[in-house]
Every structure is written in structure tokens, then in C-alpha cells.
């Protein structure tokens, strides 16, 4: 067991006692309530749960093997060893009795170890700096932060031998930008030693001035009234923190529609985020749209593409099905169909993958065309849930 101070940059937030497994076992006095993490702020155990959720998932990429090879028993210990540092916010833990400062440890300015995805890291190698941001990197897809020419970038792989998830990131980010909306820009990247042809890479979009706060953290920062949906509660909390409610609503509606067209089934509440000002703590804007790789039927068996199949895709986040999510959309004409990627472009992108079959590409394109047709019916006022299968 060891004592730490939870810090936000150089501000003391509260005292913590962390156990031998890397989990918080005791909370001390709160020094600054305004600086507490937003996630689960209404719960007495909120910080404990926030810390637990902050640790990298054990099933992400090579994490389990890396921890085992380096004698680290849990992801919580991995997180503790790296002081809980992240490249998306400013929280970290300072061991009691040390003189560490944000300037000495933050990963926005200081170099860090790499690279779990590429398998180059030796955790006991003292030739590089001690800390790294991967201990707080979320999601099960293998990924890693790197420093390329002084710029922090995120490299992501794929779940299987295909490059589909990485290709989807490139296609969909381009599609979103073509609609005049903000999205993280992804590029394909060849990664040696992998079964797939390409991963993808994107630049860090947080900084010392703006941090990322997930929709889940926003929603759990305040108690939800019983008469409000989680969707409306999220919008209300964003308004209280400085955003225009109509702009938030339009952002969410656009995201629902673009996800519908590309059959994204991974828009959970940590894949929707806001940007927050480091100093004022006010929300600046919704974050650029990111993490759209699990779209276009990735991992799904090839089956006949019927209307029933088109409208049966599961989702995550505010609702569990696309049809339920579409009920939130008030402005049904947010997507300009003429600006969507052509089937020819999508085929060209998928053909970059040497392992993808023509049958798979035809399956993806048929679903995409059907989804555009369904969206046009929806935009024209047709109730998709009443379509007879």
C-alpha cells in the first residue's frame, strides 16, 4: 500500500491510498471539489471507479503478455507505475513525499516509452524515460501512442487479419469532413510483423490547453432526473458547462445519421466526447468525431442484404438499435447524399487490403447503397420502423 496525492497539473485534488493490486482502497480529504474528475462525481466511490476505469483493458493488444513478461500483475499496477498519466487530460498521482511536478512528468512535453503495438518496449529498460501514456489508453483494439517528429500520434491496428477497421477510419473521417463537420483525420500506415496490411495513424487533438471528456463522464457528473432520457440529460449538462444546446443536439443528430449510413455499431459513450478548457473548466466544443473503425459490417458474416438486415444493426451508447437512435433526430436532412463517398472510392480503398475478397467488398457496398437509400427515405419523412420486411 502507498499514499498518493491525486493531482490536476500542479493542483492538489485529494489524498489516495492505493493497494498492492493498483486499485484505490481509501480516499482522503478532498482538497478541491471543482477539480475532481467529472466521471461518477455524484457517487461516494466515484474516484475509485474512475481510477479503475482509467486503467488499460487487459485484453487490449499485447498488454497481457507485456505485463506478464515484466512481472506486473495487474493493469492497475501498470497505471500506478505510470502515475496515471494520460494524453487526454491532466490528472496524475504524485507519490507522497516526492517533489514531482507536472512539468517534470506530463507527456504532452516530455518524451515517453514506446511502443506496445509494435512490440518494442522493455518495461525494465532504464535508458528511456519512465512514464508512458499507454497505461491509460482505452479500448480493446491494439493501439499505441508514439512521438513522430515531435508530434504525438496514435497508431491503431485491427482485430483480425484484415485492414478493414483502419480503412474505415480513413473513409469515414473523409466523409465527415466532406459534410463540413469536424473529424479526426486518419491515414493508413504499414506496420511490420502484422497479419494485416495496414493500421492507421492520427495526430493528438488534445493539448495543455484543452482536454477530452467522454459523454459518459459528462452524464455521470450530475444526477439524471427520472423524467429525462440519458440523451437529453447529456445535452442539459453540456449546456450547464458552457455549450449551446442546439449545437450539441445538431452534432449528435449528425453523428447518429453518419453512423447509420456507415453502419457503425461502436459509438459507445466513450466514443462521444467534449473538449474542456484546462483553466476555466468550461466546455469548449464537442470533440471531432473519432473511432469509426467498427463500421461497414466489420466482423459480420456475409449474408443476403435484405431490408430487414439493413435495419437490424445493433448499436451502443444512448440506445441499443439504430432505429431507436433515429428517433432522436429532429433535423433529418443533415447529410448531403451527393457529398458521400462513391461506391467506387470505397471499393478502391478496400482493394488496398491484399486479403479482402471481392465477395466481401460487394457485401459492404450493397449494404452501403441500401443504407443511403434508407436514409433518403428517412429524410423524406418515411417511418423506417414501419417498413414491411
Domain final residue pick, 89, 106, 137: 137
The reply to whether 323 falls in a domain is yes
The reply to whether 180 falls in a domain is no
Q: Are residues 227 and 372 in the same domain?
A: yes
- Whole-number pLDDT of residue 115: 57
The reply to whether 204 falls in a domain is no
- Whole-number pLDDT of residue 279: 95
The reply to whether 145 falls in a domain is no
Q: Are residues 9 and 128 in the same domain?
A: yes
3-state secondary structure (DSSP) of residue 309: helix
- Whole-number pLDDT of residue 379: 96
- Spans of the chain, pLDDT less than 50: 118-123, 125-129, 389
- Whole-number pLDDT of residue 127: 47
The reply to whether 336 falls in a domain is yes
Q: Are residues 337 and 233 in the same domain?
A: yes
The reply to whether 261 falls in a domain is yes
Domain final residue pick, 115, 137, 159: 137
CA distance 197 to 192: 9
What torsion do the CA atoms of 110, 155, 218, 249 make, to the nearest 10 degrees? 130
- Domain hosting 53: range is 2-137
Helix pair angle (343-350, 358-379), 10° resolution: 150
Helices (H), 82-229: 102-105, 164-178, 215-219
Contacts of 333 (CB under 8 A, 6+ apart): 379
Contact between residue 295 and residue 168 where contact means Cβ atoms under 8 Å apart: yes
- Whole-number pLDDT of residue 36: 95
- Whole-number pLDDT of residue 128: 47
**Count of structural domains within the chain:** 2
The reply to whether 239 falls in a domain is yes
The reply to whether 379 falls in a domain is yes
CA distance 82 to 105: 9
Q: Are residues 253 and 367 in the same domain?
A: yes
Q: Are residues 373 and 256 in the same domain?
A: yes
Q: Are residues 67 and 214 in the same domain?
A: no
- Whole-number pLDDT of residue 350: 98
Q: Which helix H or strand E contains 147, and what residues bound it?
A: strand 143-148
Q: Are residues 339 and 252 in the same domain?
A: yes
The secondary structure of residue 136, as a DSSP letter, is: G
- Whole-number pLDDT of residue 174: 98
Predicted confidence (pLDDT) per residue in 109-136, tens digit: 998 876 555 444 444 544 444 688 888 8
CATH (domain of 274): 1.10.1070.20
Q: Are residues 222 and 81 in the same domain?
A: no
Q: Are residues 218 and 132 in the same domain?
A: no
Q: Are residues 375 and 256 in the same domain?
A: yes
Within 10 angstroms of residue 39's Cβ, the number of other Cβ atoms is 22
Q: Are residues 360 and 261 in the same domain?
A: yes
Domain final residue pick, 88, 120, 137: 137
Within 10 angstroms of residue 21's Cβ, the number of other Cβ atoms is 12
Amino acid at each position: 500500500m502507498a499514499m498518493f496525492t491525486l493531482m490536476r497539473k500542479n493542483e492538489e485534488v485529494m489524498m489516495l491510498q492505493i493497494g498492492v493490486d493498483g486499485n484505490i482502497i481509501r480516499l482522503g480529504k478532498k482538497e478541491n471539489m471543482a477539480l475532481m474528475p467529472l466521471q461518477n462525481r455524484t457517487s461516494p466511490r466515484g474516484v475509485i471507479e474512475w481510477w479503475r476505469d482509467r486503467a488499460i483493458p487487459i485484453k487490449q493488444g499485447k498488454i497481457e503478455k507485456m505485463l506478464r513478461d515484466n512481472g506486473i500483475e495487474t493493469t492497475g499496477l501498470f497505471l500506478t507505475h505510470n502515475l496515471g498519466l494520460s494524453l487526454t487530460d491532466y490528472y496524475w498521482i504524485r507519490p507522497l513525499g516526492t517533489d514531482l511536478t507536472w512539468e517534470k512528468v506530463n507527456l504532452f512535453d516530455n518524451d515517453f516509452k514506446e511502443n506496445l503495438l509494435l512490440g518494442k518496449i522493455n518495461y525494465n529498460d532504464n535508458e528511456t524515460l519512465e512514464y508512458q501514456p499507454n497505461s491509460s489508453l482505452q479500448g480493446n483494439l491494439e493501439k499505441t501512442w508514439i512521438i513522430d517528429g515531435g508530434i504525438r500520434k496514435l497508431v491503431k491496428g485491427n482485430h483480425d487479419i484484415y485492414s478493414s477497421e483502419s480503412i474505415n477510419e480513413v473513409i469515414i473521417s473523409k466523409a465527415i469532413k466532406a459534410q463540413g463537420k469536424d473529424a479526426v483525420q486518419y491515414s493508413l500506415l504499414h506496420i511490420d510483423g502484422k497479419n494485416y496490411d495496414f493500421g492507421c495513424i492520427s495526430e493528438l487533438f488534445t493539448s495543455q490547453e484543452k482536454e477530452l471528456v467522454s459523454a459518459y463522464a459528462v452524464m455521470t457528473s450530475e444526477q439524471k432526473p427520472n423524467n429525462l432520457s440519458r440523451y437529453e440529460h447529456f445535452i442539459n449538462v453540456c449546456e450547464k458547462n458552457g455549450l449551446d444546446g442546439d449545437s450539441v443536439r445538431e452534432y449528435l443528430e449528425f453523428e447518429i445519421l453518419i453512423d447509420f449510413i456507415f453502419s457503425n455499431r461502436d459509438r459507445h459513450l466513450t466514443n462521444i466526447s467534449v473538449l474542456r478548457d484546462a483553466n476555466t473548466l468550461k466546455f469548449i466544443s464537442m470533440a471531432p468525431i473519432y473511432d469509426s473503425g467498427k463500421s461497414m459490417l466489420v466482423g459480420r458474416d456475409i449474408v443476403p442484404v435484405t431490408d430487414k438486415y439493413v435495419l437490424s444493426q445493433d448499436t451502443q451508447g444512448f440506445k441499443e438499435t439504430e432505429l431507436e437512435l433515429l428517433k432522436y433526430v429532429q433535423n433529418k436532412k443533415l447529410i448531403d447524399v451527393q457529398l458521400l463517398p462513391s461506391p467506387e472510392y470505397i471499393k478502391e480503398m478496400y482493394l488496398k487490403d491484399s486479403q479482402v475478397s471481392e465477395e466481401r467488398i460487394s457485401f459492404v457496398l450493397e449494404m452501403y447503397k441500401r443504407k443511403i437509400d434508407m436514409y433518403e427515405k428517412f429524410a423524406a419523412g418515411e417511418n423506417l420502423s414501419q417498413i414491411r420486411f
